[in-house]
Amino acid sequence: MIKNKELLGVSTAVILLMLLGALRYENFFSAYNLLEFGRYNTMFALISIGMAFVIMAGGIDLSVGTVAALASVVSALVSPYNALGAVLAGTLAGTLCGCINGLMVSRLRIQPFIATLAMTLAAHGLALLLADNQAVSPSYDTSFTEVGQGDRLGVPVPMWILLVMLALAGVAHVYTAFGRHTLAIGGSEEAAKLMGLNVHKNLLLVYALSGTLAGLAGVLLADQGSGQPNEGMGWDLFAISAVVVGGTLLSGGAGSIAATMVGVVLLGLVFNLLNFENGLGQFTLSSYWQSVVRGVFLLVVVLIQAHVLKKRGR
């Protein structure tokens, strides 16, 4: 678990950004902006949950963005035949990619950076082949698009999906052997083996979970627009930034799903504020500034973590 002090710091930053938005922009707290903020950022929240488990286990997953793109293409291609089948196909495509990552890391002992980088290239190439290098429109004849664009009880369906995934992830992290073993492996893999933990199985499950959630994010991407083979670039950086900003150590062995969600909200708010600022017309910031912001956030937090770990003598 992370220290309350770290979570308090991130939460304070979120509150300050929300106050800035409320004071500067007229419609910042409108129902439309809040609901669309939740609908859009659900995709990033899902991949960040998976990334949190991977980083807590001492690994990294650079493939979440391109796996989501591949899943979006798969689900869009299947959507004319069956809505549920399209959701399952996209999600399972992500699971398969995650399992391959897990096998490379746990059984072949390939470094996570290299293994997931290889998957990034493979998933991107496969997505381009399946989509013939163009966006794939989902079918509106089935109920497939209702998953991403529909509302239930006035709340976007993607937010309901996220709430379910959050609840399951929180329980798994805090109350199950899977969560405890993940932290133990991230703290010291050798010590985990000496304790009798099945490190190979746990790492496989961690990467499979990351791939599954990336696949589900890809389904929502297709639902909300189209299957995009070239989408997802930089999503891994968003997820890593959200996890690290939330206080999870890049060295593994500590972390929090709740704090990761606060990190997602923080980064999402920054980009939302940039959009509102563009709307004022006083100056214009292109979407490329989002990558700049992500990079700066990640660099600053990593430097802070390095300082904290040095003080702890870790």
The pTM score is 0.91
With a pLDDT cut of 70, the percent of the chain lying above it is 89
Q: Which two tokens stand for residue 175?
A: 């109350």
Position 118 scores a pLDDT of 96
Lowest mean pLDDT among 71-75, 113-117, 306-310: 306-310
Chain centroid to CA 207? 13
Position 75 scores a pLDDT of 96
Position 63 scores a pLDDT of 95
Average pLDDT (14-39) is 89
φ, ψ (nearest 5 deg) of residue 25:
-120, 130
The single residue listed with the structure tokens 């708010």 is: 269
> Highest-confidence range of 20-34, 93-107, 222-236, 248-262, by mean pLDDT?
93-107
Position 1 scores a pLDDT of 47
Q: In this predicted model, what pLDDT tens digit does every residue of 176-226 receive, in sequence order?
A: 999 999 999 998 888 988 888 999 999 999 999 999 999 999 999 998 888
Average pLDDT (270-291) is 72
Position 145 scores a pLDDT of 87
SS3 state at 8: helix
Position 285 scores a pLDDT of 64
Average pLDDT (61-90) is 95
Q: For residues 8 and 89, which has the higher predicted lDDT (pLDDT)?
A: 89
Predicted confidence band at 71 (pLDDT cuts at 50, 70, 90)? very high
Instruction: Give the length of the chain.
Output: 314
Using alpha carbons only, give the angle 3, 64, 59 rounded to the nearest 5 degrees. 50
